[in-house]
Amino acid sequence: MNDERFRQIVRRALTPVVGEVGEGPSWDEIVDNSTAPARPPGPRIAVAAAAVVIAVIGITALVSGGGSTDTVTDPGPGDRTPTTETTLGPDSTEPATVLPECTPGPPMEGIELRTEDLIRYYNAGAAAQMISVIGDGPVSDPSLEPDQDVVYPSVTSWLEAAQRLEDRITSDGSGAGEPFHLFVTRRNASLEADGIESLSLRFRIWANQNCQVRVETTDEASSPDACLYSRLYEPDEIPAGCTGPYVPRSGHVAVWTGEEVLIVGGGSGTYPGPIQPPIALRPDGEIRQLAEPPVSPGRYPAMTAFWTGEQLLIVTGLPDYQGMVVLAYAPATDTWTESDPGPDGQLLGGATWTGNEILLVGGVINAANDEAWSFNPSTGEWARLPDPGIPLVEAMEGVWTGDEAVFYGGGSAGDESPAVAWNPATHTWRTLAPAGRGHIQDHHLAWTGEHVIVYSGHTGPAHPDRLLLYDPAAGAWTESAPIPITPVEHLGGGWTGQELIIWGGSPTYGDRQTINQGARYNPTTDTWTIMADSPLSPRCDHTLTWTDEIAIVFGGIEICGTSNVVAMGDAAAYDVADDEWRTLDP
């Protein structure tokens, strides 16, 4: 559905409802007449005039203190507080409040909105100081007491409510100008009762000492638990990820142990969401929680995981770019160990497991590098290998063939991504023939027993429509038959022993859309089989793990590369023999 087609659909759909109400008054008429509510309305300005009449009635009631006018909901952008004494109506549950008189003054002149002071005043409940900075008036703050539809009639009452809830905010940063933006983290008893440890919010404060102040938390805020946040604050837009049976995550790693899939790392999708806790998933959908690792993996895209037969090994980056580390998890004892820090220039490097050691090639922190390292989990030692003789490169990928480790791809100088192989027995590198595909990144490698298959990835903005196959015996590259589904990057893939399965991913380099198609490739016959339709929605950054009989797709996110969409909390199993899917549920 292209843009123009979508426009046609929207026009066709909305014309019946929009057309019925006509054009209404012009903006100039509305603006002009908003200052003269007593003017007799002409036919074309009836709507605006009627609204003004209602406004006058409302404001009159507000000023006179009669009725329940003060129990208004969200006041809309900017609200004016009456300059005379006002009390709440008899139906209100709020105590009667006397609004202070306002001193009209020029907007914002001479006012220095200092984040530190505002937070200090807020946390101390120092209403006078707060008002001296931002003025006074109704405060709309839906996040303080969710679902209460409360508008606090003054800064004082707002701070009193905050004090009752023991609300505390800390600064995450600040902005300047009008409206004033204050990025804060909020904690209070009400949130705790809802199961939210803290909220990351953006306050917008309009203030001008002219009896006009509005403090609101914006809907662009996120929470460590984005699903809880949505249920409380955006009940009309609960993200799809929140409807799944598992904790949403994307960008995680997953390995099959022979009994269960160990799933580690990954984020909730929204920033600054947490790194999700590790779990073990059985093919029937049951899960168990694992011990927390000593270092939170998943902060960096270079996280790679291997199953040794006894333990899970994860190569990842230390916080603050302090280099690489290997985390080892033993399911038998539910314990983690952390290696000494390794090379500090290997983030985004290619990694593979030989059966005895992890090999790392290339990578980047501030610049690409051309180094190669090994890590032996038995001894816990890192060792620098001879230089592979490649240009500076980032985002290589590696795979173990049984005799040597093949590394290919990544961004580098020259016309082609480098391709090299390391032989541990001879302790030597050999340079492979050029693949002829230019520079490929975000790709994956699989070993079939005869060929290295290169799948996923992109060459600049393009996505190759054929797999690359490298035959180490012949030293030659070939291409597969055309991929029968949309070529993508950030997909999930796994080798079954006979076929390569690919599913999901993003077909667009720029706007990060996703698909939920999949296909199986048989390198022996060079044929493809399109998989049955999946019950899972489109996604990327999920995992597809082969478990000897079925492939399990877990998590992911519906829009690639974004930080404000909740990740997926669902999973499904694909049975190759029957070409059937079933959703997983704990």
Partner 1 sequence: MRFAASLMGSDDADDVVSEAVVRTLRRGPLASLDNPRAYLMQAVLNTARDRGRRLIRERAAVARRASMREAVPVVSIESPELTETVMRLPVRQRAAIFLVYFEDMTPSDAANVLGVRPATLRRYLLLARRKLRGWLDE
Nearer to partner 1, 178 or 344 (CB): 178
The residue among 308 and 513 lying less far from partner 1, judged by its C-beta, is 513
The helix/strand/coil state of 114 is: coil
Backbone conformation region of residue 276, classed left if phi is above 0, alpha if psi is from -120 to 50, else beta: beta
CB 23 to partner 1: min, Å: 7
Query: Which residues, in sequence order, are CB contacts of 35 under 8 Å at separation 6+?
Result: none
Question: Minimal distance in Å, beta carbon 142 to partner 1?
Answer: 9
Query: What span, in angstroms and rounded, lies between the C-alpha atoms of 208 and 311?
Result: 62
Phi and psi at residue 450, in whole multiples of 5°?
-130, -35
Shortest Å, Cβ 148 to partner 1: 12
How near is the Cβ of 37 to partner 1 at its closest, in Å?
8
Mapping DSSP to helix (H, G, I), strand (E, B) and coil, where does residue 430 land?
strand
Nearer to partner 1, 61 or 392 (CB): 61
User: 52 vs 468, which CB is nearer to partner 1?
Assistant: 52
Which residues neighbour 374 within 8 Å (Cβ) at sequence distance 6 or greater? 357, 358, 359, 360, 382, 383, 385
* Between 210 and 296, CB nearer to partner 1: 210
Distance between CA atoms of 119 and 168, rounded to whole angstroms?
9
- Find the shortest distance in angstroms from Cβ 208 to partner 1: 11
User: Would you call 170 exposed, middle or buried from its count of C-beta atoms within 10 A (0-12, 13-18, 19+)?
Assistant: exposed
Place of tokens 């998890």: 329
Non-local (6+) Cβ contacts of 219 within 8 A are 233, 234
- Other CB atoms within 10 A of residue 485 CB: 18
Nearer to partner 1, 116 or 236 (CB): 236
**Cβ-based nearer residue to partner 1, 206 or 246:** 206
Burial label, 74 (beta-carbon count in 10 A; 0-12, 13-18, 19+)? middle
Under the rule (CB under 8 A), what is the footprint of partner 1? Answer: 1, 6-7, 9-14, 16-18, 20-24, 27, 30-32, 34-35, 47-48, 50-52, 54-55, 58-59, 72-80, 147, 149, 212, 219-220, 235-237, 511, 513, 538, 558-559, 562, 564-565
**4 or 112, CB closer to partner 1?**
4
Contact 222, 271 (CB under 8 A): yes
- Residue 110 or 510 having the CB closest to partner 1: 510
Q: Least distance (Å) from partner 1 to the CB of residue 449?
A: 40
- The Cβ-side half-sphere exposure at 224, using a 13 Å CA radius, reads 15
DSSP 242: G
Q: What span, in angstroms and rounded, lies between the C-alpha atoms of 371 and 381?
A: 17
| Residues contacting 276, CB < 8 A, separation 6+ | 247, 248, 249, 252, 265, 266, 267, 268, 298
The residues near 93 (Cβ < 8 Å, ≥ 6 apart) are none
CA of residue 308 relative to chain centroid, distance? 31
**In the complex, what is the shortest distance from the CB of residue 582 to partner 1, in angstroms, rounded to a whole number?**
20
> In terms of CB distance, is 59 or 365 closer to partner 1?
59
As measured in angstroms, the least distance from the Cβ of 70 to partner 1 is 11
Query: Minimum Å distance from CB 115 to partner 1?
Result: 20
Nearer to partner 1, 11 or 384 (CB): 11
Q: In what order do the strands lie in the sheet with 335-338?
A: 304-307, 312-317, 324-330, 335-338
We find the least distance from the C-beta atom of residue 59 to partner 1, in angstroms, to be: 6
Shortest spacing between CB 237 and partner 1, in angstroms? 5
